[in-house]
Structure 1
Amino acid sequence: MSEGLNACGVILAGGGSTRMGKDKAWLNLGGQPVVVRILNELQKTVSTVVMNQNDETDLPIPSIQDIYRDAGPLGGLHTVMKRREEEWFFLSACDTPFIHKSVYDYLSSFANETSDAVIPEYEGRLQPLSGIYRKSCLPIVEKLLDNGERKVIFLLEQVNSVYVSDFRPLSREVVNRHFFNMNTPDDYLKAQEICKIL
């Protein structure tokens, strides 16, 4: 379904990685940096992928620096929407190394003419950094940032958000791994174990 959308993949890599103690995006996992794993999977989903970060990268994709500095994921979403022409934006945080095309395809099947955002809810928790967002959100994103708001949840409350919590058509193992979040050194060790069985 994602093939039918005019979409851009977005790797959000602007965070400070404070709990990990080093840049999560460039940790080695299964012989390659985490961010390369994410890039490879997003490229199976959409034809164009960009990275939101404030340092230059060696990756062969556009690197887009924040317009609003220190504005978190909402600032990253704003920057990419402002500088790209696509209608839809498929987000991935840089600490979710096991994202999967099938999950994004499934989410995109819920996108319609009236929806502004399609947001997964998994095991009782919203996962806005694995959501897909329409460019129609941009004016509200800008207004929130101008007012000093930084939380994506405030955006979701003001646009037509579709929440997806039933992932039964997909493999449970794939969905579990898709939403695996690698924030701490212990999480990194767990990710290395997961790599051994993939």
Structure 2
Amino acid sequence: MAPQSAGPEFADVTLTIIAGGQGRRLSGVPKGLLEVEGRTVVERLLELAPRFGDVLLVANVPEPYARFGVRTVADVVPGKGAPGGVHAALVAARTPWVLAVACDMPFVSPDVVRVLLGARGDAVDAVGFEVAGRLEPLLAAYRTALAPAWGEALVEDPSLRQLLSGFRARLLPEDALRAVDAGLRSLVNVNTPEDLARHGVTLPST
């Protein structure tokens, strides 16, 4: 008799793709639909989904992503950018933790996810990487219990770094990331036509 599956590796975490709005510098194309090697960035990120207890997409314009069949929510507090997107995820998640990933990050690897989520603990509310003095807030883990306080803080239009300064955040050093991703590929995001060429990303084929 075959052994029963132990379930997802991160059953207490919701994989959340933060899609936000349109890519203004990319002809208004939804950035999650950019393609790498014939697959959209969202499809590539959804390859991580079996490792998680749930999956969620935050998109203020949900129609372009309907084909992926993922539960989708809009910002609860509109006009707050990435902090608002994370807040929407915290409110909508059904698990104790959220892993927030930007929809324009095609190269996030399972090893990097494992390092990030392995740094959680009872005394930690958020975990992220700090590279060259810069926080990477859209490849980061957040405790969903932060939702009420996070929502109140949005009134001040804070940056994600300012928000995290009010919570128990663990920032992992660049070395921790390079140990499993020497070229920091997981942090690549695609915002401009130059980024498309640099990283082998193309506009949607359909």
Alignment-derived partner of residue 21 in structure 2: 15
Aligned residue type for 2:100? L
Between the aligned partners of 1:4 and 1:94, the Cα distance in structure 2 is 20
Q: By percentage of residues, which structure has more strand?
A: 2
In the alignment, the residues of structure 1 paired with residue 103 and residue 10 of structure 2 have an alpha-carbon distance, to the nearest angstrom, of 25
In the alignment, which of 156, 169, 178 is matched to residue 179 of structure 2? 169
Structure 2 unaligned runs (5+)? 1-7, 202-206
Partner secondary structure for residue 55 of structure 2: strand
TM-score (norm. length: structure 2): 0.84
Structure 1: which 5+ residue stretches go unaligned? 194-198
Change (3 A) 1:63 1:158: same
Name the CA distance, whole Å, in 2 between partners of 1:47 and 1:98: 21
Whichever residue aligns with residue 105 of structure 1, its letter is R
Q: Show CA shifts across 1:75-121 (max 9, x none).
A: 11211221222111001101111011111110111110010000111
2:52 maps to a residue whose letter is V
Question: How far does the alpha carbon of each residue in 1:106-163 deviate from its partner, in whole angstroms, 9 at most, with x for none?
Answer: 0111110010000111233210110100113212211112x24142112111000001
Per-residue deviation, 1:44: 4.6
Separation (CA, whole Å) in 1 of partners of 2:25 and 2:51: 30
> % of aligned pairs identical?
28
- Give the match for residue 107 of structure 1: 116
Aligned to 1:69, the other structure's residue is in SS state coil
Aligned residue pair count:
188
Partners of 1:8 and 1:90 within 8 A in 2 = yes
TM-score, normalised with respect to structure 1: 0.87
Match 1:35 to one of 42, 58, 61: 42
Decide which of 42, 48, 56 is 1:50's aligned counterpart: 56
